Amino acid sequence: MGKIKIIGLSFLGLILIVVSFFAIRYALNPLRHSDVRIRENILKLTPIGSTIEDVIQVIESNEAWEWNGRIADIGYQTHSNTTALTGAQSIRVTLGTYSNGFIVYVVSFWGFDEEGILLDVRIWKAVAGF
C-alpha cells in the first residue's frame, strides 16, 4: 500500500510541475495577452501623435519584430469586417508568434496622417495551421 501511495504522489507531483511550467510559460508571454493590452503596451512605446520616424526607430530597435521596411501609401483596415481605413499611410509589423495548438501571428498596424503623424494602432491576431 505504501509503494502505491508513493508512486501516486510522485505522479501527481510530476503533473503539477508540468501544469505549472505551461502556466508560467503562458503568463510570461506578452503576445498571449489581449489585443487591448498589447495595444496599450505599443502605445506606451509609440504614443498617438508620434512621428513616423519615431515609430520606425522603435520598430527597428525591437529585433524580435519582423518588418519589411515598407511604408504603405494607404491606411490600414480599421476592422476585419469593413473597408474603412485608418490613416493615409501605414506600417505593418509582425510582433511575433505563439502556439496554442495552432500558430498565432500577432501583428501591429500603425496608421499615420499625410504628414506622418501617428493616428492610431491596431493589433490583429491571425491563426495559421499547426
pTM over 0.85: no
Can you tell me the distance from the alpha carbon of 80 to that of 51, in angstroms, rounded to the nearest whole number? 26
The one-digit pLDDT tens for each residue of the chain (130 residues) are 577 777 766 767 677 776 666 666 656 688 899 999 999 999 999 999 999 999 999 999 999 999 989 999 999 888 777 788 999 999 999 999 998 789 999 999 999 999 999 999 999 999 987 5
The answer to whether 87 and 120 have CB atoms below 8 angstroms apart is yes
> Count of residues for the chain?
130
Which residues, listed in sequence order, are joined to residue 68 by a DSSP beta bridge? none
> Between the CA of residue 83 and those of 12, 76, 78, 80, 110, what are the distances in Å?
52, 9, 7, 8, 17
Running DSSP on this structure, what letter comes out for residue 129?
Answer: -
The answer to whether 118 and 111 have CB atoms below 8 angstroms apart is yes
